[in-house]
Amino acid sequence: MASLSRLWRQQRPVFIAIGALVVLLIMVWSSTPSPSTYSSPTYHGVDAAPPSTGVFSRRDKEVVAEEDVILSDPTKIDLPNIQQDVLEEITRVIVLPGGGSSSDFGGYPEWTKQRVVAAYNFYNTLSKPEKRKTIFLTLSAGSFNAPNLLFDDKRTMFECQHMIQHLIRLGIERDRIYGDIFSWDTVTNGMTLRTFVDGLLLYFKNNRANHSQRLSIQVYISDFHAARAQASFQWVLGLEPSLLVRDVEMEVHSVSSHGVVWPSPEDYQKRIEHEKLGLQMVLKQAQQIKTLQEFNAFIMLGGHLGIRKYLNNEYVKSVGAGWHF
C-alpha cells in the first residue's frame, strides 16, 4: 500500500492527465450521433460533392429532413447539365469533322465552311418534328499539323468552335450543337464519335420506354477527305461490340470542294497524296484491331504513332493545303 501511495505522489500529474483525457473521450463519444440518425443529404450544383465519410458535422453541412431527400432512380441516367429535353426525341446526329486550322484561310478553311453549309441545307429540308429529333456533333480539337488560333485572352480556340459559331449564325439552337475537345486527327475523330454515340445509346436505353429505333449518323465531309473519314468511322463504330449491327446506321455525304482556291497546285496534290496514305493506314489498322478494348490500347499505349511522336517531340508535320503556319 505504501508503494502505491509513493507511486501516486511521484506520478500524480500523469494520472491526472490520463483521467482528464478519458473523461473527454467519453463526453465526445456520448455526444456524437450514430450515422443512422442522419438523413442522406441532397447536393445541388456542378461543384457540389458528397463528403468522403458517412458522418459529417452539422457545422459543415446542412442536414435535410428525410422527406426532402431526393433518391436517384437506378434505372435512369440523371447527370448534371445534360440537356434531357433536347435528347428526349433524338434519332439523328449530323456529324461535321473539322478541316484543319490553316492560317491560309484565317483558321477556318473554306472546305470546312462548305461542310457546315451542306449540313445546314439538309437540316432545313426536314420537317419541324424531324428537326426536333436532330442534333449536331462538331468534331476536332485541332491538328498536329498547324497551331490553333487563340482568343483575345490567349486561351485556345478549338477547331470545332469555328463550326459551332457558324451553325449558331445560321440559326441552329446552341443546345442542339455538341463539340469535341479530344480528337486531333481522323482516327481520334472516330474515337470521339464512338464515345458520343455510346453515351447517347446508353441514355436512350435507360431513359426511353422504346429505344429500339436505330440512330441515324449523317456525316458531311469534303470530297477529298471522304474516303478516309468513312473508313475511320466505320472501323471505330464497328469495333466489337459493334454499333453498326443493330444500333446505328451511318451515311457519309461527300461535299464538293469546288470553288476552293488552293495556295498552289502542288499543295493540293500533296494533300491528296496524304489522304491516300492515310486511307491505306486506316484500312491496315482496321484489319489488326477488332475490339474497342484493343483500340483503347492502340490509342493510349503508344500504338498510334502520330500521338506518340507528337508527345515525344518527334513528330514531323504533314505538308500541303490546310496545314500552313
Per-residue pLDDT tens for 86-118? 888 899 999 999 987 765 556 788 999 999 999
Number of folded domains that form the chain: 2
In a shared domain, residues 253 and 106: yes
From 42, 71, 100, give the residue that closes a domain: 71
Q: What is the pLDDT of residues 188-246, one digit of tens each?
A: 999 999 999 999 998 888 887 766 778 999 999 999 999 999 999 999 999 999 999 88
Instruction: For residues 188 and 139, give the distance between their C-alpha atoms in angstroms, rounded to a whole number.
Output: 9
In a shared domain, residues 51 and 190: no
* pLDDT at site 266: 87
Low-confidence ranges of the chain (pLDDT < 70): 1-80, 102-106, 210-211, 319-325
Grid cell locating 108: 477556318
240 has which bridge partners? 291
Q: Characterize the bridge pairing of strands 177-178 and 215-222.
A: unpaired
* pLDDT at site 102: 63
In a shared domain, residues 88 and 46: no
Instruction: For residues 267 and 319, give the distance between their C-alpha atoms in angstroms, rounded to a whole number.
Output: 7
Structural domain containing residue 45: 33-71
Grid cell locating 289: 484491331
Instruction: For residues 246 and 283, give the distance between their C-alpha atoms in angstroms, rounded to a whole number.
Output: 23
From 71, 98, 129, give the residue that closes a domain: 71
Torsional class of 230: left (φ above 0), alpha (ψ -120 to 50), beta (otherwise) = alpha
* pLDDT at site 178: 97
Which candidate, 38, 45, 34, 78, places its Cα nearest to that of 61? 38
* pLDDT at site 149: 85
pTM of the model: 0.74
Instruction: For residues 234 and 77, give the distance between their C-alpha atoms in angstroms, rounded to a whole number.
Output: 27
Per 3-state DSSP, the chain is made up of helix, strand and coil in percentages (nearest 5) of 50, 10, 40
243, with CB counted inside 10 A (0-12, 13-18, 19+), is: buried
* pLDDT at site 47: 39
255 has which bridge partners? 222
* pLDDT at site 207: 81
Which candidate, 196, 194, 191, 190, places its Cα nearest to that of 178? 196
From 43, 71, 99, give the residue that closes a domain: 71
Residue 24 falls inside a structural domain: no
Instruction: For residues 130 and 116, give the distance between their C-alpha atoms in angstroms, rounded to a whole number.
Output: 19
In a shared domain, residues 67 and 106: no
